[in-house]
Amino acid sequence: MSQSETRDGANKPEIKAFFDEPTNTVSYLVWDKQTMIGAVIDPVLDYDFRSGKAGFASADAILAEANRLGVSIGQVLETHAHADHLSGAPYIKLKTGAKVSIGEHIRDVQRIFRPVFNAIDVSGDGSEFDHLFKDGERLKIGALDGEVIHTPGHTPACVSYHIGDAVFVGDTMFMPDYGTARADFPGGDARQLYRSIQRVLSLPPQTRLFMCHDYKAPGRDQYAWETTVADERARNVHVHEGISEDEFVAMRQTRDAKLAAPLLLLPSIQVNIRAGKFPPAEVDGVHYLKVPIKLAS
């Protein structure tokens, strides 16, 4: 990619995507070509639900590519507390010393889910993370300028990272042919989601948008995760221009009512609200993930 200037004078970021097919997650290595300082966005920890085994192949692939390119990783940026994969942030931090950051409303997510898992070790104040971003806060990746956009709706803590001419939107929306994120998790809100999407789509039409997931919409053969504001405005099947807030909310609520919980919801949430760490080991030295049981009446 070139170092041509964006409209605000900041260099375009260099971006390498890493797709994890088991969870349909896209992680990103983002760096400044001038300083070769970079960040990792939404890294994945490999986790096999059936065996309980975890591994680091996905994170190692990012680290290997950064090493090959000569990129120094200084930050891990989480877009939200993911419900469909376990975060690889602690491993990236261990290997690089990178700081792990997320939006400040992770506090709300911790407070919602702490009683669900009786997770008395979870702070509720977000102190498991190295930094909590406020809406509109500026960040730097080398010489690159960035801004944090609070984009709640999917979860209360969702943020998007606007870096140069690119925005990493997390689960706020998907490729135009697939639509938008669900809003039925605790703390989710379809009206908030609509308004968050409008904030992103108010950016210049040529702004590049990078998704956190892709599931290949019917009729599409290849996975895809990069689009533009203009394309989302024109073609997003859920929220293209002309769709009102009320129309979107009615669609989203009807659709969400039919969706099953993600396979990794329970392990993911209790790990990710701890900044990607597992619950403390018990007296036998083993870390356990809890499955709350709800008996049907």
Q: What is the pLDDT of residues 173-183, one digit of tens each?
A: 999 999 999 99
Distance CA 27, CA 271 (A): 18
Residue 257: give its domain's CATH number: 3.60.15.10
Domain hosting 106: range is: 14-272
Looking at the structure of the chain, the number of domains it has is: 1
Question: Does residue 8 lie within any of the structural domains?
Answer: no
Q: What is the mean pLDDT of residues 164-175?
A: 98
Q: What is the mean pLDDT of residues 87-91?
A: 98
Identify which of 82, 88, 113 has the alpha carbon closest to the alpha carbon of residue 100.
88
Quote the percentage of the chain above a pLDDT of 70. 97
Question: Does residue 1 lie within any of the structural domains?
Answer: no
Q: What is the pLDDT of residues 221-270, one digit of tens each?
A: 999 999 999 999 999 999 999 999 999 999 999 999 999 999 999 999 99
Tell whether the model's pLDDT for residue 14 goes beyond 90: yes
Question: Does residue 60 lie within any of the structural domains?
Answer: yes
Question: Does residue 283 lie within any of the structural domains?
Answer: no
Question: Does residue 2 lie within any of the structural domains?
Answer: no
- Is the pTM for the entire model greater than 0.75? yes
Residue 296 confidence class, pLDDT cut points 50, 70, 90: confident
Question: Does residue 280 lie within any of the structural domains?
Answer: no
Question: Does residue 7 lie within any of the structural domains?
Answer: no
Looking at residue 297, its pLDDT comes to 73
DSSP per-residue codes, 156-185:
TT-EEEEETTEEE-TTSB--TTT-B----S
Question: Does residue 4 lie within any of the structural domains?
Answer: no
